Chain A
Amino acid sequence: MSGSEDFVEADNAEAIITRIEHKSRKIETLLKQYKPVEALKTALEGTQAMTGDERCKSAHWLVVHRAIMAIKDVDGVLSSLDPEYYDILMKYLYRGLATGDRPTCDQCLRLHEKLTERAGLGCILRFLTDTVNTV
C-alpha cells in the first residue's frame, strides 16, 4: 500500500520536474525580452500546490531564484505584481535569506523591505505560520 503510494509520488515528481524544466526555458526567453515581472509570475505560478518532495522544491527554487536575481527595478516589478503572488514570493524570499549566499541575501533583503511595505506584516505571519506548504 505505502509502496504503491511512493511510486505514484515519484512518478508525479518526474512530471513536475519536467514541467519545471519547461518553465525554466520560458523564463529565460522572458528575461531576454526584458520582462522581469512576467518571468517572476511564471516562476511563482504552480508552486502553490507543493509536494513534499525535496527535489521538486529545489528545482522550483532554482527557477524562482533565477527570476528574483534578474530583478533590477524592485519597485517597478512589485507594483505590477498582483497581490495574490505576495504570500508565495515572501516564502521564497525567506528561502533565499536562508541560503546565506551574499548576493542572493542582498537581493532578497531589498525585495523583502519593499514587499513588506506593500503586503504588510500579515504576509510575513502567513509565511511563519505555514508549516505545511513550505517551499
Chain B
Amino acid sequence: MGVMSVHQFAQCITCHAWSPDHSMVALCPNNNEAHIYRLVEDKWEKVHVLQKHDQVISGIDWSTGSNRIVTASHDRNSYVWNLEGSEWVPTLVILRLNRAALCVQWSPKENKFAVGSGAKTVCICYYEQENNWWVSKLIRKRHDSSVTSVSWHPNNILLATTSTDGKCRVFSTFIKGVDAKDSKKGTSDSKFGDSKFGELIVQLDLSSSWTFGVKWSPSGNTLAYVGHNSMIYFVDDVGPSPLAQNVVFRDLPLRDVLFVSERMVIGVGYDCNPMVFAADERGIWSFVKYLGERKAVSFGSKYGTQFSEAFGKFYSQSKQGVSNDAVESSRTRGFVHENCINCIMPHMEHSTLITRFSTSGLDGRIVIWDLEYEQDLLEL
C-alpha cells in the first residue's frame, strides 16, 4: 500500500500545510494555535508555535516562493506570518467579515490570497506597498451560504469556490495595480481577459447538497469538486458552456480533492480512506479504487483474529470514550486514518505528476502517501 509515513501529531487536526522544501509542516491541532514541526532524525520536533488567533484556525497555507504562512480562523481574521531571523512575525489582515473565516489559499503568484467565509463572501487580499498593509477586497452577494473551499486557477486571476448552497462558482479576481494587463493576455484563456473584479464567470448548479473541496487540474482545464451526496463532479471547458460529469460512489461523502495529474484525482473524506478517480482516453471519469487497504492482522488461528478484533474494539472505546456502534468501529478499523480526513496537500512533484501527498483529519494524524508504490495507478 502507498503509505510512506504516519504520525500522530494531536487529538485532531483541522488543516495542515508544508514548507517550500517539505522539511516542515504547519498544522492546527484544533485550537487557536498553529504548530510547526520539523523532521529531525526521523522524529518530528515542534519548532514554532504561531499564537495570535483567538479561535480555531480553519485554514493554513504556506507559500513556496516567498516562504510566508497565511492563517484564517473562526475569529474572523487572517494573519500573514513572515520569518524574521528565527521568529515568525504576524501581520494582521483585517478581512472585514462578520462570520468565521473557513478556508484560505495563496494565489499561484503569491501576490494575493483568497479567504472563504461563513459570511457568504470571499475575501481577496493583496499587499499595498505604500501603506505596508494587506488589503481585503470582498466578493459580496454572490453566495447564498458559507464558502467552504477556494481554489486558484494557474493564471492567478480565476478563483473557484464551493459553498453550502450547493453551487460551485468561478470568479475573476483581477485587481488593478496588482495584476498586470499583459498577465491576462499572456494566459491561455484570453476569453476572460477583460473580466472585472468579482465578475461571475460561471455558476455550476450540479449538486443538491453542500459542496466542498474544489480544485483545478494542473493546467487549469478541468475543475473537480465534491458534493455531500456522495458524488464528485468534474467540469471541463469552464466558461459559458461548461461540460460537466458527475460520478456517484457507494460510500460516504468526500471532503477534499487533489489532482495528482491531469487525469487522476485523489478524494478524501468521511470514509477515512483515500479514493482514486481517473479519466480514460475519452475523458470519462470513473472511480478506480481505494488507496488504503486494511492492515492485515497476521494471526494464524481464527481465535487469534477474533480476540484481536475484540481487543481492538475495547481499546478504541476506552480511548475515545464514545459509542458502542459496532458497525462504525468495524468500518473504520484497520485503515491508516481512523476518522474523517478533511485535508489533502501535495507533498512532492515530479514535473507534471504529484507522486506524494499528505492527508490529515479528525484523528490527529498526518499520513504521507507515495504513488510510486502504486504501479498500477502510474500506468493509467
Residues of A within 8 A of B (CB): 87, 119-123, 125-126, 128-133
Contacts and interface: CB of A to CB of B under 8 A. Distances in A.
B31 interface: no
Contacts of A87: 248
B229 A121 contact: no
Nearest to B230: A122
Nearest to A132: B208
Given A129-B228, A129-B229, A130-B229, A122 B208 contact: no
Contacts of B209: 129-130
Find the residue from B231, B250, B251 having the highest chain A CB count within 10 A: B250
A131 B253 CA distance: 17
A102 to B, nearest CB: 26
A123 B249 CA distance: 8
Nearest 10 CB-CB pairings of A with B? A120-B250, A122-B230, A129-B209, A129-B229, A125-B230, A130-B208, A126-B229, A122-B250, A120-B251, A132-B208
A1 B253 CA distance: 41
A123 B228 contact: no
A121 to B, nearest CB: 6
Contact of B231 (A119, A120, A121, A126): A126
Contact of B250 (A121, A128, A129): A121
Contacts of A131: 208
B291 interface: no
A87 B209 CA distance: 15
A133 B208 CA distance: 9
A126 B252 contact: no
Interface string B207-235: 01100000000000000000111110000
A121 B230 contact: yes
B63 to A, nearest CB: 36
Interface string B241-253: 0000000111111
A82 to B, nearest CB: 13
A129 B248 CA distance: 13
Contacts, number: 41
A125 B229 contact: yes
Contacts of B248: 87, 122, 126
A12 B250 CA distance: 35
Interface of B: 208-209, 227-231, 248-253
Contacts of A130: 208-209, 229
A120 B230 CA distance: 10
Contacts of A119: 250
Nearest to A116: B250
A87 B249 CA distance: 11
A131 B210 CA distance: 12
Find the residue from B209, B227, B248 having the highest chain A CB count within 10 A: B248
Given A122-B249, A123-B250, A133-B208, 13 more contacts: A119-B250, A120-B251, A122-B253, A123-B230, A125-B228, A125-B252, A125-B253, A126-B229, A126-B230, A129-B208, A129-B209, A129-B229, A130-B209
Contacts of A132: 208
A127 B227 CA distance: 13
Contacts of B208: 129-133
A128 B252 CA distance: 12
Contacts of A128: 229
Contacts of B227: 129
B231 to A, nearest CB: 7
A121 B228 contact: no
Contacts of A133: 208
Nearest to A84: B248
A68 to B, nearest CB: 22
Contacts of B252: 121-122, 125
Contacts of A129: 208-209, 227-229
Contacts of A125: 228-230, 252-253
A57 to B, nearest CB: 17
A32 to B, nearest CB: 34
11 contacts: A120-B250, A121-B230, A121-B251, A125-B229, A125-B252, A126-B229, A126-B230, A128-B229, A129-B209, A130-B208, A133-B208
